[in-house]
Amino acid sequence: MKRIALLGMPNTGKSTLFNRMTGASARVGNWPGITVELLTGKILLGADMVEIIDLPGIYDLHGFSEDEQVVRHFLHDNVPDLALIVLNATQIERQLSLLLQLRQLNLNMVVLLNMADEARKFGITIDTAKMAEALGMPIFLLSAKYGAGYNEALQAVTKALRYTTPGMAEQLRDQLEQDAHIESEMARILKHAVDLPARLPDNLTDQLDRLMLHPWLGLPIFFGIMYLLFQAIFLFGQPLQTGVNDLFAWLRDAAIVPLLAFLPAMLQGLLLDGIYNGVATVAAFVPLIVLFFLFMAIVEDTGYLSRAAFLMDALMAKMGLDGRSFVMLLMGFGCNVPALMGTRVMRSRSLRLLTMLVIPFSLCSARLQVFVFITAALFSPKAAPLVLFSLYLFSFGAAILTALIFKGYLPNSDPFVLELPPYRFPTARQMVLRGWHEVYHFIHRASKFIVAGVVLVWLLTHLPPSAAPASIDTLAGVIGGWLHPVFAPLGINEQLTIALIFGFVAKEIVIGSLAVIYGLGGEALGGALAHQLDWVQAYSFMLFTLIYTPCLSAIATLRNESKNFGFMLFVIGWSLALAWVTSFVFYQAARALGY
């Protein structure tokens, strides 16, 4: 099978072109360095089945970042039949250097000048015939986003595959010697084939940046935009989530229960309350995940998240993080899972791991449901908003403390170099592909863990068979009794301890488990909690719920994104330890003060 490698600098539209060529749903984002894994897809070109490889975007073939090493090693060990070089036509004067470096490797190449539509708006005229003559390789103007010039480029690619790549001419030459040659070669080609305006005209990007990057207004505007985004997600997502839950409930009563009626009661319970509820739990996440990625695709692909990272970088650098880490923390307030996935944009592995270590402390929407219920039950309408706000502050505090403690163990030596792209609006096709790609991988990775976890919870609450479900006589109740000495210093009783065990699967289960344990629901459950707990116990319980181990979906994502089982276990252990210490200090201090 023949192989085509997509090469180019970050933010040139390689992944967009990859999606258009293969029909696959590679991650597409208007963010430099978005591709950090080798994405592949297969297509039929002429009579040949061809494998397309989307390599990470790099600025220089001789650099030592992780992405640049990946590209160098790939080209050295897997010489492609054709290198498809994607350049940003609006930045042609800066991107030619990489092309000239690659040309010295003596690869079979086709050059695509992407974003030709934007180049025309900026008054940039490129004579592809003259440039092709100067470089000795086929060159085409293209808009991968809208498809203009795509068919002509694909025909050229099919034709170029008839020729074989001679292979690399020699080992990489001395960088300084090459750079001196490349600079003169760039000047010759630009003078011969490219007509650049003396000054790019003022455009919407410049005008918006005067406001968005304002030293005083920039951050308030950013927080306002993100607040509206999350409000929109839950405004539209919660009805959809309710609809999905109702659909699964109807399907259970109308079809699944009659279908399994002939089975023994124990097996029915396992299939219905275990496996079926596990699938329903995963499905309930999907509407919010879809909307989250659709809205974030708009914000990210417009280029705005790059600017938010720029605004927060100085503060985050003091904690061993950078501006992108702040954006991921903020994303975590919607859901930790997509925020953990978002760390792929970081080139440094140490930075990715440190960011993944702090993201689970973000007060996600699942935890928020628990806190809203408890604060409404135990606190006055005037105090409840302040309680919720304090929990958000504790969330940031846990993340900051963790970063300060472990930044020495996960040093980030990679400088934060960020190109601010022009503002763009993604196409509907890009948003749909992005949403489908992330939802598919979310379900694929998380469903197994969710189903396994719910089955385990069911078994713990229903065995031995002689015990009442979810009572202290079940295995879960016994475990709660064992753990009571650990949680008693935190003011957390045995019933709340059992609920915390269930919360390991998904934080939404906490309230449901309390309803089963107390045999009550809604306002009656809230009244029972208010009668049994005082505000110090309730707040200690909420602190522990906020900080302790994230849900199984987040754990599965941590394992997948870090590719390190030991790191996943460390995150679990650290979050449990920090949660215990925080709740202990609060509870004991409050009791010492007479509360």
Model confidence over 252-291: pLDDT tens digits?
A: 889 988 998 888 888 887 787 667 766 665 566 577 667 7
CATH number at residue 90: 3.40.50.300
Structural domain contains residue 397: no
In the chain, how many domains are there? Answer: 2
Which residues constitute the domain of residue 540?
445-592
Q: What is the pLDDT of residue 428?
A: 76
Structural domain contains residue 70: yes
Q: What is the pLDDT of residue 36?
A: 47
Task: Report, as an integer, the average pLDDT of 174-186.
Answer: 58
What is residue 165's DSSP assignment?
P
Q: What is the pLDDT of residue 180?
A: 53
Q: What is the pLDDT of residue 357?
A: 96
DSSP 433-502: HHHHHHHHHHHHHHHHHHHHHHHHHHHHHH-STTSPTTSTTSHHHHHHHHHHHHHGGGT--HHHHHHHHH
In sequence order, what are the beta bridge partners of 82? Answer: 4
Structural domain contains residue 327: no
Helix (H) or strand (E) segment spanning residue 545: helix 535-547
In sequence order, what are the beta bridge partners of 114? Answer: 88
Angle between helices 384-406 and 349-358 (to 10 degrees): 150
Q: What is the pLDDT of residue 295?
A: 79
Q: Is 50 helix (H, G, I), strand (E, B) or coil?
A: strand
Q: Report which of residues 370 and 523 the model is more confident about.
A: 370
Please say which residue of 155, 170, 195 terminates a domain: 195
pLDDT at 469 over 80: no
Structural domain contains residue 379: no
Whether residue 85 contacts residue 112, with contact meaning beta carbons closer than 8 Å, is answered with yes
Task: Report, as an integer, the average pLDDT of 349-361.
Answer: 93
Q: Among 509, 491, 489, which residue's Cα sits nearest to residue 499?
A: 509
CA distance 366 to 359: 14
pLDDT at 466 over 60: yes
Banded model confidence at residue 234, pLDDT cuts 50, 70, 90: low
Q: Among 104, 84, 111, 67, which residue's Cα sits nearest to residue 4?
A: 84
Q: What is the pLDDT of residue 34?
A: 45
Q: pTM of the predicted model, to two decimals?
A: 0.60
Q: Report which of residues 108 and 330 the model is more confident about.
A: 108
Structural domain contains residue 353: no
Q: Is 300 helix (H, G, I), strand (E, B) or coil?
A: helix
Whether residue 586 contacts residue 539, with contact meaning beta carbons closer than 8 Å, is answered with yes
For residue 475, give every residue at least 6 positions away whose Cβ sits within 8 Å of its Cβ, in sequence order, or none: 459, 460, 461, 463, 464
Please say which residue of 176, 195, 214 terminates a domain: 195
pLDDT at 394 over 70: yes
Name residue 89's amino acid.
Answer: A
Name residue 173's amino acid.
Answer: R
Q: Is residue 209 classed exposed, middle or buried when 0-12, 13-18 and 19+ CB atoms within 10 A define those classes? A: middle
Structural domain contains residue 297: no
Structural domain contains residue 204: no
Task: Tokens for 360, please give them.
Answer: 């689970």
Structural domain contains residue 269: no
Task: Report, as an integer, the average pLDDT of 60-68.
Answer: 72
Whether residue 341 contacts residue 561, with contact meaning beta carbons closer than 8 Å, is answered with yes
Task: Tokens for 40, please give them.
Answer: 């592949």
Please say which residue of 195, 215, 244 terminates a domain: 195
CA distance 7 to 79: 13
